[in-house]
Structure 1
Amino acid sequence: MTHAVTAPDPVRAPARPGPNRALNALRAVAAVLVVVYHLRQLLFVDAADAGDGLSTRLLYAVTNMGPAAVVVFFVLSGYWVGGSVFSGFRRDRFRWASYATARLSRLWIVLIPAVALTTILDRVGLALLSGTSIYLGDPAYHHTVPADGLAGRLTAGTALGNVFFLQTMAVPTYGTNASLWSLAYEAVFYAVLPLALYAWRGRGGIGKRALSLVLLLGLCALAGPAVLKYLPVWLMGAVAALYREPVRTWLQARSARWLGWSRAGASAGLTAGLWLAQASYSSVNVLLLAAATTVLLVLLVEDVGWTGVPGRVLGGLSDYADSSYSLYAIHLPVAAMTAALLTPHVAARWAPTATHWLALAGICAVLTAIGWAFAHATERHTDRVRRIADTLIASVASRTRT
């Protein structure tokens, strides 16, 4: 049992959030920015060798926003997942079993096949493309794929460590799939918030609260400062969700013109935050970007009502958001093999010509389609897997009581 967390007025339980086209579109765009970033890093010459033309510098800056886009992911994750934790505690309905099945079914249905796909692609790459710079571990790629022994990152222990979200804390990220680092961070955040709430106000006596505190401190010690420094970013989204209903009521009282200008200004602020973070990925700029994302998120708690062509574009991006996790989880080993085939050696990387930029866009489109197909085989079945898990847990619990 839990004790209700003090909620802002009005204290009625927030409605279960339905599809929000604007926020889903933001998630989809963030995923594509990560893919574009990795492709450009793998296929193109470094910025220092690209020339000083204005268009080139602009394109390199825009395609350098991948790491900053992950910050946007964290805020959105805090809003959706952290918000569900606050909602459960506020209504005294939070239960570890249902929360764990919800989170693990969501993560594992994509992560486990993604690790398997990484194994296949990396093993094939090491066998058939072992002489290429990427699979040799050239330091030029160390910001994108590992620069040390790739084969040593393809062990069963490393795979299991990544499946159980220990990458960067106890094991390295698996194979060429360095993007998996953020999943470990999110898994920590998923556990930290309910443990903290249980330790603070949980029912069950001092013993259970003390146990929650011990588990919380142990998890924080395991995670370390490198992970925990992103916790405030995630919590910004969670706190926004805690106030979702009062914010929605307030937004509904604003005029359409006020909302339009406010959202446009917040979008400009988010763009500026992305620009600053790609220029200098400092703690200050990361927090500024997270704050800008949270402001836009708050203004989009009430979805936009676009129709016509803008509405169809927004709807398409929103629909693709259901594939964004799959795209994020599998794109890097695919991109690494693609780059090894197209630019086998560092010296063969592309100059920033119009033809090469178009090729980058085409490859990104292919990867986006692969992510969509992968999601249809995995991610789209999350609810079914969750229901099966919940049924099994309920069955075991029933037999245990009898």
Structure 2
Amino acid sequence: MTATIPAPVRAAAPAQHGTHRALNALRTAAAVLVVVFHLRTLLFVDAAEAGDGVLTRALYVVTGLGPAAVLVFFVLSGYWVGGSVLAAFRQDRFRWAGYATARLSRLWIVLVPAVVLTAVLDNVGLALLGHTSIYLGDPAYHHTVPAEDLAGRLTPLTALGNIGFLQTIAVPTYGTNASLWSLAYEAAFYAIFPLALYAWKGRGGMPKRILSAVLLLAVCAVAGPAVLMYLPVWLMGAVVALFRKHIAEVLAELRPSVLALVRAGAVVALAAALYATQVSYSSRNVLLLAGATTVLLALLVQDLRWTGLPGRGLDALSRYADSSYSLYAVHLPIAALIAALLAPQVSHRWSSTPAHWLALSALSAGLVGAGWLFAWATERHTGRLRALLDGVIRSAARRNRA
């Protein structure tokens, strides 16, 4: 597609994950919502059996927002990753080699160990707790962990398919780790977006543009309609990145009190959209949620300037964002094992009591801690892995020129 240069250029995202507190906090909140949802659905009776108390219903609503929260990830990913691609294209600095090492090092440094961990935990669960409802594949858990033959989802071919981002496309998600479905979607979007830009207005002449269009169609054909229907959600974040400078100029003209009020309204709108999507996961509500997330994202392209106690809370949430991918990738097989120990059969699932909700909070905090430890061993070394891959590419390029 493009010539490999001696040192692949790294395109900076429009807002770095480690410096934008508000967007990092949003990413952390979305990850925690996913974790709480999975734990609650594994451990608690279904909402219809929980009772009609106002507090109980409210707790089930708040802890049921996980599936909708994944859409927030898609919009933020479009902003960060799509924004980096757009920035590189504007400056004619985009190179496939550097882009591929950046994306693959980011994804694989967590995904590969997560698949290994899933294999270990699921095999332990099948060996020691194979009689429990979760590992027997009870349909009551089908919306959280697979209801099909679990052992059949732990094959080497399935593992390789998940590492190759073909889960839900050519292979099932690996073991109990159904959360991995979204990584196949992300990987497809990462390929589709720059291919589309090259096909539309790429350098290298018409032959390379035609090649880009052919590859684009091939990726879309492999991904299929189920994946492509979420592409507009991802692209909404990229659109904000495209107009980030203009949006920031408009926000700078607003009085702080007005901007704070508008942001508060956007948060309320996002919460309402999350609830609507939870109640009915329809195409309309998905787009409504994506739109609400996009509006809030646009209002936050300039970071919050909170200080004092609110600022320290924002700092804490922002710092954890560097572990949110790890948390997302490993929490579900751990949660399945915990739930099989604490509620072995469907009939043992917890009722809505203060003690059980406190236990859910403690277990969620434990999983958040596990995500941080996993990130410490994996994500924090992403830069080293990328440098290694870049070095391999440079060495191969030098050998080809020799």
Could you say which TM-score interval applies, normalised by the shorter chain? over 0.9
Residue of structure 2 equivalent to 1:45: 45
CA distance in 2, matches of 1:66, 1:401: 50
Residue of structure 2 equivalent to 1:394: 394
CA distance in 2, matches of 1:145, 1:15: 34
Letter in 2 for 1:72: V
Residue of structure 2 equivalent to 1:218: 218
Aligned residue runs from structure 1 range 350-361, under 5 A: 350-361=350-361
Structure 2: stretches of 5+ with no match in the other structure: 3-10
Summarize the Cα distance change of 1:96–1:354 in structure 2 as closer, same or farther, 3 Å threshold: same
- Cα shift at 1:383: 1.2
| 3-state SS in 2 of match to 1:174 | coil
Conservation of the 8 A alpha-carbon contact between 1:185 and 1:227: yes
Aligned residue runs from structure 1 range 275-314, under 5 A: 275-314=275-314
- Cα shift at 1:253: 2.4
For each residue in 1:292-344, what CA deviation from the matched residue of structure 2 results, as whole angstroms up to 9, or x when unmatched? 00000001000010000000000000000000000000000000000000000
**Deviation >4 Å, runs of 4+:** 13-16
Residue of structure 2 equivalent to 1:178: 178
Summarize the Cα distance change of 1:42–1:15 in structure 2 as closer, same or farther, 3 Å threshold: closer
Conservation of the 8 A alpha-carbon contact between 2:79 and 2:237: yes
- Cα shift at 1:248: 1.6
CA distance in 1, matches of 2:181, 2:13: 32
Aligned residue runs from structure 1 range 6-25, under 5 A: 16-18=14-16, 19-25=19-25
CA distance in 2, matches of 1:298, 1:38: 30
Letter in 1 for 2:189: F
CA distance in 2, matches of 1:254, 1:361: 39
CA distance in 1, matches of 2:228, 2:91: 28
Residue of structure 2 equivalent to 1:7: none
Conservation of the 8 A alpha-carbon contact between 2:13 and 2:84: no
CA distance in 1, matches of 2:214, 2:138: 43
Scaled by the length of structure 1, the TM-score of the pair is 0.96
Aligned residue runs from structure 1 range 1-400, under 5 A: 16-18=14-16, 19-400=19-400
- Cα shift at 1:15: 8.0
Scaled by the length of structure 2, the TM-score of the pair is 0.96
| 3-state SS in 2 of match to 1:376 | helix
Conservation of the 8 A alpha-carbon contact between 1:14 and 1:244: no
Conservation of the 8 A alpha-carbon contact between 1:68 and 1:274: yes
CA distance in 2, matches of 1:136, 1:214: 44
- Cα shift at 1:17: 2.6
| 3-state SS in 2 of match to 1:301 | coil
Conservation of the 8 A alpha-carbon contact between 2:72 and 2:293: yes
| 3-state SS in 2 of match to 1:203 | coil
CA distance in 2, matches of 1:293, 1:124: 39
CA distance in 2, matches of 1:64, 1:142: 15
CA distance in 2, matches of 1:257, 1:384: 43
Conservation of the 8 A alpha-carbon contact between 1:14 and 1:245: no
Residue of structure 1 equivalent to 2:6: none
CA distance in 2, matches of 1:47, 1:326: 29
CA distance in 1, matches of 2:221, 2:351: 45
For each residue in 1:208-244, what CA deviation from the matched residue of structure 2 results, as whole angstroms up to 9, or x when unmatched? 1111111111111111111111000000000100111
Structure 1: stretches of 5+ with no match in the other structure: 3-12
Conservation of the 8 A alpha-carbon contact between 2:14 and 2:83: no
Letter in 1 for 2:248: R
CA distance in 1, matches of 2:367, 2:208: 47
Root mean square deviation, CA, Å = 1.3
Between the two proteins, what is the percent identity of the paired residues? 69
Letter in 2 for 1:75: V
CA distance in 2, matches of 1:249, 1:110: 37
Letter in 2 for 1:393: I
CA distance in 2, matches of 1:382, 1:263: 33
Summarize the Cα distance change of 1:112–1:48 in structure 2 as closer, same or farther, 3 Å threshold: same
CA distance in 2, matches of 1:149, 1:356: 30
Of 169-178 and 47-56, the range deviating more from structure 2: 47-56
Of 313-322 and 80-89, the range deviating more from structure 2: 80-89
Letter in 2 for 1:46: D
CA distance in 2, matches of 1:370, 1:97: 33
